[in-house]
């Protein structure tokens, strides 16, 4: 089955998903979100893939949920069809996902980026939650993930006024891991993804799970959770290989098990 609204590729052990609705600045309609879910399912099931990159175009990562699609919706349809649920597939992805963001990441576009594990921003990236200007508010986790990422004062200003952040501000506020020149964005994202994909997949997946647990639980519970996962990794061949390689002063060759 092909894709009409995204492009999917692999490069070594990295799966690349490119949002592709150029005429609508990658506005996220139902069809696109469905395709994104299918692509994620396929990469998750593929044992040769160790890390994913999600990106858009130079002009827009995504300018938000498709306003033209939402315009005529009423409450019963948004509630009974629960149309936000399909967006959450990305946040349930167990393999590491890097968002390579250039241009607009607005509304649902910013929310999609925040569902990823690492956000790399091009210097032309713009992040915002402008839903308030449309008479609504963030609906795919924006008010929650943004607040956890940059704190109440800044998140409130963004959600209440629709102010957008420059890439430099997003970096300074802790929303993105770093800013790179637009021309080098994909190279940099691939470098990070290759690094992750070359490591032990179970260790990377557990590290992701453990960091994410920090947002869901108390410090004491989180530390207990981390300890169990740390101990579990001693049941993997990759732990033996990683530590043997260090002692033998050679590069490790992980088998992802």
Determine if 83 is a binding residue for ligand CO8 (CB under 6 A): yes
Confirm if 88 and 145 have CB atoms less than 8 A apart. no
64 belongs to the binding site for ligand CO8 (CB under 6 A): yes
CB-side neighbour CA atoms (13 Å) of 252: 18
Residue window 140-179: x/- pattern of binding to ligand CO8, with contact defined by CB under 6 A: x---------------------------------------
Beta bridge partners of 11: 14
- Name the segment binding ligand CO8 (CB under 6 A); options: 42-50, 82-90, 144-152, 183-191: 82-90
Q: How far is the CB of 121 from ligand CO8 (least distance, A)?
A: 16
State how far the Cα of 15 lies from the Cα of 96, in Å rounded to an integer.
Answer: 11
84 binds ligand CO8 (CB under 6 A): yes
Q: Does residue 139 interact with ligand CO8 by CB under 6 A? A: yes
Say if residue 75 is exposed, middle or buried (CB neighbours under 10 Å; 0-12, 13-18, 19+): exposed
Q: How far is the CB of 195 from ligand CO8 (least distance, A)?
A: 31
CB of 66 to ligand CO8, least distance (A): 4
Interaction of residue 56 with ligand CO8, rule CB under 6 A: no
Does position 35 interact with ligand CO8 (CB under 6 A)? The reply is no
Return the sign of the alpha-carbon dihedral for residues 162, 163, 168, 173: negative
Both tokens of residue 128? 């915002």
**Mutual orientation of helices 142-150 and 152-161 as an angle, nearest 10°?**
140
Sheet containing 97-101: order of strands: 6-11, 14-19, 51-55, 97-101, 118-122, 178-180
Annotated active-site residue in 27, 39, 60, 65: 65
Closest distance to ligand CO8 from the beta carbon of 108 (Å): 3
Answer yes or no: 157 catalytic. no
> How far is Cα 164 from Cα 126, in angstroms, rounded to an integer?
6
- Which residues would be at the binding site for ligand CO8 (CB under 6 A)? 24-25, 27, 63-68, 83-84, 87, 104, 106-108, 111, 130-131, 134, 139-140
Catalytic residues: 65, 108, 111, 131
């Amino acid at each position: 089955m092909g894709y009409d609204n995204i492009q999917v590729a692999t490069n070594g052990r990295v799966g690349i998903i490119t949002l592709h609705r150029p005429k609508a600045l990658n506005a996220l309609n139902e069809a696109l979100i469905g395709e994104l879910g299918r692509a994620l399912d396929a990469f998750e099931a593929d044992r040769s893939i160790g890390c994913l990159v999600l990106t858009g175009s130079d002009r827009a990562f995504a300018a938000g949920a498709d306003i033209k699609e939402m315009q005529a919706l009423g409450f019963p349809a948004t509630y009974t069809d629960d149309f936000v649920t399909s967006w959450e597939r990305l946040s349930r992805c167990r393999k590491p996902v890097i968002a390579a963001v250039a241009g607009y990441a607005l509304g649902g576009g910013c929310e999609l980026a925040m569902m990823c594990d690492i956000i790399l921003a091009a210097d032309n990236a713009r992040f915002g939650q402008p839903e308030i200007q449309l008479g609504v508010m963030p609906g795919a986790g924006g008010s929650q993930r943004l607040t956890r990422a940059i704190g109440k004062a800044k998140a409130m200003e963004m959600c209440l006024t629709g102010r957008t952040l420059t890439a430099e501000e997003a970096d300074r506020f802790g929303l993105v891991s770093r800013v790179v020149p637009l021309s080098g964005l994909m190279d940099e994202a691939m470098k990070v993804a290759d690094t992750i994909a070359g490591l032990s997949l179970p260790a990377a997946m557990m590290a992701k799970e453990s960091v994410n647990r920090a947002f869901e639980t108390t410090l004491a519970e989180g530390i207990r959770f981390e300890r169990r996962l740390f101990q579990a990794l001693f049941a993997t061949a990759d732990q033996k290989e990683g530590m043997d390689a260090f002692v033998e002063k050679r590069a490790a060759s992980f088998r992802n098990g």
